[in-house]
Amino acid sequence: MTTNSRHKSNTFIDLFSGIGGFHLACKQATEKFANPKKKAKCVFACEIDENARKTYMKHFGKIEPYLFANNRFATDITKVDPNEIEDFRLLCAGFPCQPFSQAGKKKGFEDIRGTMFSHIVRIIQAKEPEAIFLENVNFIKNHDNKQTFSTIKTVLEDELRYQMHYFDVRASDHGLPQHRPRVFMIGFLDHSLNFTPPKKKKLKLTMSDVLGGEVDRTIGLTLRVGGKNSPISDRRNWDGYVVDGVERRLTISEAKRMQGFPKGFKFPVSDAVAMRQLGNSVAVKAVRDYAEQIFIALD
């Protein structure tokens, strides 16, 4: 494979972008770089959910107007022509793992047809980015008797020829008071590159800090989409806490802090929709720490 974007600026694309957690993380990862050309720039994004698109555009519209011109902010990934995407260094995607019901039968490209992952592969094949950064729930490693993850690894390593690194990551190891276990899949087209994962960080922000009172747990529950307003004693509860002896629910601003979104990040949707969007997003600081090491390895 050739590397068609080497030594250019740190361009990236944001697939299944949601509200822009990967976008924020990549921008933050290069803030300290002295060379302006090394500042991360998003040149393409794709998100099908209408409300998520509204939130994404609300925050990034003025910051990165380039992204919202000439069809660079696509809707349906299944209709994207990879050849119309400009060259980029890093592909980012937090992709859904369903449906992979037939995964593992043929051990390769045949297994991924009809999945969202297959459209990521189409883009990688056409554009050959220098690096890829994929994120998913930990369950994907055991999905379909581990056949799903085995198939993904086969495609990335044997058929696309990337040198892959896999990490079990918790948001709480990157300064955020939330467990949020995830698997990060990071790969490089150039097998000689030296990638060093970031070191774990001490937790400085606790749930008592977030909620402004005494809470019986230092690290909070993982933000999710379903189960909102479940009884605190229920296993599905993730948004209910006892603060100074009084039971209450997370607010949007508190959930943003748990996910690492900046205070000024605004939601042009209802609070219920905003909370679902946060539950679907990535832990920004965890992604940022790994993205920083990716850009360092590339340079």
Backbone angles phi, psi at 138, to 5 degrees: -60, -30
The residue annotated as part of the active site, out of 42, 46, 92, 97, is: 97
Burial 102-113 (b: 16+ CB within 10 A, else e): bbbeebeeebbe
Nearest to 5 by CA among 83, 126, 86: 86
Q: How many CA within 13 A on the CB side of residue 172? A: 14
Measured distance CA(190)–CA(98) in Å, rounded: 30
Residue 250 contacts residue 239 (beta carbons within 8 Å)? yes
Annotated catalytic, 46? Answer: no
Q: Which amino acid is at 78?
A: T
Q: Which of 295, 285, 94, 286 is nearest to 188 (CA)?
A: 295
Instruction: Just list the catalytic residues.
Output: 97
